[in-house]
Amino acid sequence: MKRRSPRLATPAARLETYLNHVSRYAGHADRILPMQSYAKGLLLPLERKSIEPMAARLAPGNVRQTHQSLHHVVADAAWSDAALLGAVRDEVLPELTRRYPVIAWIVDDTGFPKKGRHSVGVARQYCGQVGKQDNCQVAVSVSLATAHDSLPVKYQLYLPESWANDGERRKKAGVPAEVCFQTKPEIALSQLRALLDEGVPRGVVLADAAYGNDHGFRSHLGALGLEYVVGIQSSTTLWPPGQAPQSPAPRKATGRPPRLLRRDERHPPLPAKELALCLTGSDLRTVSWREGTRGTMRSRFAALRVRAAHRDSWRREPHPEQWLLLEWPQHEPEPTKYWLSNLPASVSLRQLVRLAKQRWIIERDYEKLKQELGLGHFEGRGWRGFHHHASLCIAAYGFLVLERCLFSPPAGSPPRPAVGLRLRLPRPEPRYTPRGAARAHGTP
């Protein structure tokens, strides 16, 4: 679809056009206006993006009715999150790829600290926002990324096993019957399969060690025909360059011929860390990958052709060769990061490094989604509300990505912020303070 030139409309007019397209998937005409209002509320400069503060700003003279309509469209209405995210992708992707192609599909998860035990999916688990185990919800996502921008296109709550097997809590939170326990890598794989089925332009799959250390996850990516650069832990065992497990034992006079590979005790596989410590300074190259706030970002890297050693004594053929990429900063006593990649042997070290480091862009997405659009501000407890709120946050973020694309700077210059959005809204009541807003004089 050909989009209007930025000179022919104001940002507010472009927002109306954008929301008219994505809200077609509301499922019912009565939901379109509340859905659009909710998305606009997420774009407003409010301290808290929960329903009541948004209703008070969107319709200060009719807060109660607006609150009810916004709550209904998010917490109760049965519209499809997948359809809405697909509409957002269809609107944004043509502009996102107008100058730069999709280079990566980024798998990641994000946590939301939460008290109590009744909010759907809440459990004591690792939460990246606080950097430790805590009571939280965790959602898995896949984003499409170019060299300069990215957009989340898949998003699903991780349901811990304690929740998946608790019928009473499932019923109270409205968890669909078809949702069963899946690990985070399994959720990510189902999202990636959906993108393949939808014909989305392919990119190299990027993920951190929480996913890349799962051999099954890497194997399934290869089976799907996807290239990847994924983080691994330093303890992952690998066969050094030029080595592999031994061929099956010679056939004996009786019995079936041996078919499984063997390991030689004199030449066992090594953990990635031990393999890296065998390198010398001449094996490392300084590579820069992008401009940061403090100038050009660079470090020392090495790339080796290795084979995974995961349960290869139960295989008939060795695992295929792939890249081990490691980062060893100048003043560190040992490498700090490791990646495995099935990219072709002809790929350059600079390409490997730039792809491995491209995961930074998802951190920018989540920072804006949480701090500017209130991704973690939903106060409900149900499965439907959690996903509806997130889908509308991503829809609002999609518009900001569009604005950046329309006013993108020349190649090589730092990204410009989106054009300021000024919506025509009624003036708020001077003495009205919505529930959840900060109290006067900054007191808690």
**Three-state secondary-structure class, residue 9:** coil
In this structure, is residue 367 part of a structural domain? yes
> Which pLDDT does position 414 carry in this prediction?
47
C-alpha 361/C-alpha 102 separation (Å) is 13
For residue 216, is it within any domain?
A: no
Average of per-residue pLDDT values in the chain = 87
In a domain, 251, yes or no: no
Phi-psi category of residue 197: left, alpha or beta, with phi > 0 → left and psi -120 to 50 → alpha: alpha
417 vs 76 pLDDT, higher one: 76
Residue type, 164: A
292 token code pair: 């940061």
Verify that 31 and 164 share a domain, yes or no: yes
194 and 88 fall within a common domain: yes
3-class SS at 355?
helix
Instruction: Determine the number of helices (DSSP H) and then strands (DSSP E) in the chain.
Output: 14, 12
Which residues constitute the domain of residue 432? Answer: 6-208+362-438
331 and 429 co-located in one domain: no
Residue 418: predicted pLDDT: 45
Q: How confident is the model at residue 402 (pLDDT cuts 50, 70, 90)?
A: very high
Residues 329 and 382 in one domain: no
Domain-ending residue, one of 346, 370, 403? 346
SS3 341: strand
Is the pLDDT higher at 263 or at 74? 74
Are both 22 and 171 inside the same structural domain? yes
Summarize pLDDT for 333-378 with one digit per residue, the tens.
Answer: 999 999 999 999 999 999 999 999 999 999 989 999 999 999 999 9
Could you tell me if 274 and 189 lie in one domain?
A: no
Q: Which long-range contacts (CB under 8 A, 24 or more apart) does 4-13 make?
A: 6/406, 6/407, 6/419, 11/403, 11/418, 11/419, 11/420, 11/421, 11/422, 12/421, 12/422, 12/423, 12/424
Same domain, 319 and 430: no
Give 268-295 pLDDT, tens digit per residue: 888 999 999 999 989 999 999 988 778 8
Please check whether residues 25 and 137 belong to one and the same domain. Answer: yes
- Give the separation between CA 205 and CA 339, rounded to whole angstroms: 12
For residues 417 and 320, membership in a common domain is answered with: no
Looking at the fold, whether 174 and 288 belong to one and the same domain comes out as no
222, part of any domain? no
pLDDT, tens digit (0-9, with 9 covering 90-100), for 296-339: 999 999 999 999 887 676 666 777 899 999 999 999 999 999 99
Is position 406 within any domain? yes
Nearest one of 198, 249, 192, 250 to 223, comparing CA atoms: 192
> How much is the pLDDT for 30?
92
* In a domain? residue 253: no
Q: Is residue 262 part of a domain?
A: no
Q: Is residue 225 part of a domain?
A: no
Q: Domain end: 346, 376, 396, which one? A: 346
Q: Which of 292, 321, 346 is the last residue of a domain?
A: 346
Is residue 95 domain-shared with residue 178, that is, in the same domain?
Answer: yes
Number of domains in the chain: 2
Residues 113 and 42 in one domain: yes
Selection from 334, 345, 309, 362 nearest residue 150 by Cα: 362
Q: 243 pLDDT band (50/70/90 cuts)? A: confident
* Residue 89 contacts residue 399 (beta carbons within 8 Å): no
